[in-house]
Amino acid sequence: MLLLNHLQKKDQSLLSALNNDAPFQFLPGFTQLYHEYMKENIYITYSENFKAYMPLRFFSSRFFKLAQILHAPIKNNIELNPEEQIEFFNELISYLTQNNSCERLVQPHPYGILGSVPANSRFCEFGTYIIDLQAQTIEEIFQKFHPKYQKAIHHSEKNGAVVRFGIEVLDDFYLCYSDTMKRIGMSSEELQFFKSYYNYLGSDNVTAGVVYDNDNPIGGIFMVHSNYAALCTHAGSRGDSKLYGSMKYLHSKMIERMKESGVNKYDLVGVRIGNNDPTLEGVFRFKRGFGGELKKGFLWKTDIHPLKAKMYDLLIKIKHPNNKFKDIIDQVTN
């Protein structure tokens, strides 16, 4: 196995196979974004056995080295099947162990659903709803929306909803997003975070969209995309409005825009399988209503060096006894 980096000239030959037909996490601009803005490193792992690639984020917490899988491994821009993925993961874990590259592989980001789980890993089932944009017409896509969604979209359109796209609406998107995060008691990314995506990936791979009621921004979504797929990574709404279907209308217009841009899939990013949380069930129903196919998989994490990992966890517990942070795997399995 090799660790390749878009910022290294010696790796350019092997990485030349990765273009805009690959998921955006494989693109040079994404590596540069993390290196210069996040101060972290993205490497593209390459299995010579499978001729397959996978993006891996490396970061640290004081003396403790961590890594995170950002997308399932691909070959010729197609995900490896579950049997191939498990072999790829075992090869990766062996490499990381032998080279002392990190102490732990943490949970993948929710947009990084994986097809298999290696032995001795903690995991949970996870899924996402995906709309195939190129195999059907806009009319066929719309007909798969839940009837209530169709009615809500017609209502918004009839009552003057206006949708705008691009970096010009980024401030308005952020207003909707940050208001939502405050409302639900969660921290939000800074505005510069979203500006940096535009700076490093450009308008060809990033699109902010906002829906307005009489020039008042009432909902926004932030999409990162390549020809492979468009992912709704952040969203939010704000204020009272007569346009009760505004977010559904915004998604419908974004779906049209992504299809026209040649994007193959529209990914609503992340639903928990079999959860009992009413709030999360509402998210599940909202995403299901757009008529996409449910892709099921797993999120998993594993200790590369178990003893060091246990020592780290103990130190964190001593230093922060009331630390209640849990990742999705902990929330589901504990």
Q: Is 158 domain-assigned?
A: yes
Q: Amino acid identity, residue 200?
A: Y
Same domain, 90 and 191: no
pLDDT at position 317, please? 76
In a domain, 191, yes or no: yes
pLDDT class of 284 with cuts at 50, 70, 90: confident
Parent domain of 324: 2-125+298-333
Residues 112 and 150 in one domain: no
pLDDT of residue 202: 96
Alpha-carbon span 289 to 271, nearest angstrom: 13
What pLDDT score was predicted for residue 279?
62
Same domain flag for 20 and 68:
yes
Residue 51 lies in a domain: yes
**Is residue 334 over pLDDT 70?**
no
User: What mean pLDDT value characterizes the chain?
Assistant: 92
Note whether residue 291 is domain-resident: no
Is residue 30 located within the same domain as residue 11? yes
Q: Are 213 and 243 within 8 A, CB to CB?
A: yes
Q: Is 68 inside any structural domain?
A: yes
* pTM score: 0.91
37 and 69 part of one domain: yes
- CA neighbor of 296 nearest in space, from 278, 276, 275, 270: 270
Q: Do residues 111 and 231 make contact, with C-beta atoms less than 8 angstroms apart?
A: yes
Kindly state whether residue 86 falls inside one of the protein's structural domains: yes
Task: Identify whether residues 203 and 167 lie together within a single domain.
Answer: yes
169: CATH: 3.40.630.30
Domains: count for the chain: 2
Determine the Cα–Cα distance for residues 109 and 126; give it in Å rounded to an integer.
11
The 8-class DSSP code of residue 145 comes to S
Give the model confidence (pLDDT) of 308-327 as tens digits: 888 877 877 777 676 655 67
Residue 298 confidence (pLDDT) above 80: yes
